[in-house]
């Protein structure tokens, strides 16, 4: 941390990066196991209270400068928010399932097509609103020095912005994706505040467009390699009889094809990780609050190790390790998140924004996070 303090004088005991996570998996284990058991017993209903318990622990073990974070959200408010959203989404799903079929059976294909298009556009619009409101809610329930964050904007305008920007990215076959993602990051964070201070973000696409294009290049190269190896495998298998002498393809063809497909997807995944690692460094590095600036140090290798570790944990534990992924992901984020600059606690007052009351109903319905 560079010359950062939470008052006119610098705190000598502040973490070097500004953030410090002091959690331990042995502490988290009883919470995770209890949450899993109660979620199973209640047929999934307890997951909202489980999420609240997880966050209370993770936030309480996270220190920013000279004080720990505090999570004040409750499972009940998240559950109620989810029920309210489902009351709105269920009729839409039922209409897609039965109403559209009725229109088709009556021969009203044009009306059915328009209805499907409108409903899917509406769902994509709501996903954008959900992302905005999830971030707003989490900031409003996150306290530091007794101060919380939030936003007075409802997110409806952001939903439209996200809809047309991602539509533009789709029309250009994804070429505008870096522009879309950086613009939406800026819009989301520029609408947020913490205490009396507004967040600011001005991420651009410099250095990201090349990374994004590498995904196309890597995919094209991998496709050529996959085609070539498959063709060679077919030629080799065609000339090699099996044990019965029938001339059918041998098992080596299956393994060659499998390894070729696996290699294809690995190339795409690594190229995508390289882009998203750069995106988060760029986006978080462009975000600021009052006199504080932020940065994120995770590179492609760090993300790859996190993902492989998560997959390995889930596989080795036959799925039980899923309960530890939130812990690992939070620890990863805090380990690579840094802050620099100055903030004066004497000027830090309670947020003038009203506390969000809609919890994360939309985000839970679509199973998405704030970031």
Q: Residues in the chain with pLDDT < 70? A: 1-15, 226, 229-257, 259-260, 350-352, 354-371
Report in angstroms the alpha-carbon separations of 93 from 47, 125, 131.
23, 15, 20
Residue boundaries of the structural domains of the chain: 19-366
pLDDT value of residue 105: 78
The kind and range of the H/E element at 259 are: helix 251-285
Q: What is the CA radius of gyration of the chain?
A: 25
Q: How far is CA 247 from CA 65, 229, 239, 257, 281, in A?
A: 71, 20, 7, 18, 55
Helix or strand holding residue 159 (H, E): helix 156-171
pLDDT of residue 217: 87
Instruction: Give the pLDDT confidence of 279-323 residue by residue, as tens digits.
Output: 999 999 999 998 899 999 999 999 999 999 999 999 999 998 999
- Residue 299 near residue 283 (C-beta atoms within 8 A): no
Q: What is the pLDDT of residue 154?
A: 87
- So what's the pLDDT on residue 251? 57
| Residue 341, C-beta contacts closer than 8 angstroms, at least 6 positions apart | 2, 3, 4, 288, 290, 291, 292, 293
Residue 82's pLDDT is 84
The residue among 133, 150, 148 whose CA lies nearest residue 193 is 150
Span 35-66, pLDDT tens digits: 999 999 999 999 999 999 999 999 999 999 88
Residue 29: its pLDDT value, please? 94
- Residues with Cβ within 8 Å of 7's Cβ and at least 6 positions away in sequence, in order, are 344, 345, 346
| Whole-structure pTM value | 0.84
Distance in angstroms (rounded) separating the CA atoms of residues 152 and 145: 21
So what's the pLDDT on residue 109?
83
| Percentage of the chain exceeding pLDDT 70 | 80
3-state secondary structure of 320: helix
């Amino acid at each position: 941390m560079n010359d950062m303090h939470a008052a006119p004088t610098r705190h000598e005991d502040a973490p070097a990066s500004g953030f410090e996570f002091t959690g331990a998996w042995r502490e988290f284990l009883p919470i995770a196991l209890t949450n899993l058991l109660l979620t199973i017993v209640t047929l999934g209903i307890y997951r909202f209270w489980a999420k609240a318990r997880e966050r209370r622990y993770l936030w309480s073990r996270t220190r920013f400068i000279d004080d720990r974070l505090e999570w004040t959200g409750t499972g009940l408010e998240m559950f109620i928010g989810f029920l309210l959203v489902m009351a709105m989404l269920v009729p839409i799903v039922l209409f897609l399932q039965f109403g559209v079929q009725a229109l088709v059976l009556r021969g009203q294909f044009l009306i059915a097509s328009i209805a499907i298009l409108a409903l899917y556009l509406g769902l994509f619009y709501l996903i954008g609103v959900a992302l905005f409101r999830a971030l707003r809610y989490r900031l409003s329930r996150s306290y530091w020095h007794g101060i919380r964050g939030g936003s007075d904007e409802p997110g409806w305008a952001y939903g439209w912005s996200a809809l047309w920007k991602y539509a533009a990215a789709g029309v250009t076959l994804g070429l505008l994706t870096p522009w879309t993602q950086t613009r939406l990051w800026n819009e989301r964070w520029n609408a947020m505040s913490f205490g009396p201070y507004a967040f600011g973000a001005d991420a651009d696409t410099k250095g990201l467009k090349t990374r994004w294009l590498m995904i196309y290049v890597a995919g094209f190269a991998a496709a050529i390699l996959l085609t070539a190896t498959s063709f060679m495998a077919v030629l080799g298998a065609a000339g090699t009889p099996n044990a019965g002498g029938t001339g059918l393809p041998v098992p080596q063809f299956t393994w060659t094809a499998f390894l070729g497909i696996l290699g294809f997807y690995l190339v795409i995944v690594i190229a995508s990780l390289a882009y998203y690692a750069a995106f988060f460094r760029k986006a978080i590095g462009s975000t600021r609050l009052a006199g504080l600036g932020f940065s994120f140090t995770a590179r492609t290798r760090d993300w790859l190790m996190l993902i492989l570790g998560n997959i390995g944990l889930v596989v080795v534990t036959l799925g039980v390790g899923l309960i530890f992924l939130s812990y690992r992901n939070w620890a990863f984020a805090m380990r690579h998140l840094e802050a620099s600059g100055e903030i004066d606690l004497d000027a830090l007052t309670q947020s003038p924004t009203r506390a969000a009351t809609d919890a994360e109903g939309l985000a839970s319905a679509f199973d998405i996070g704030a970031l």
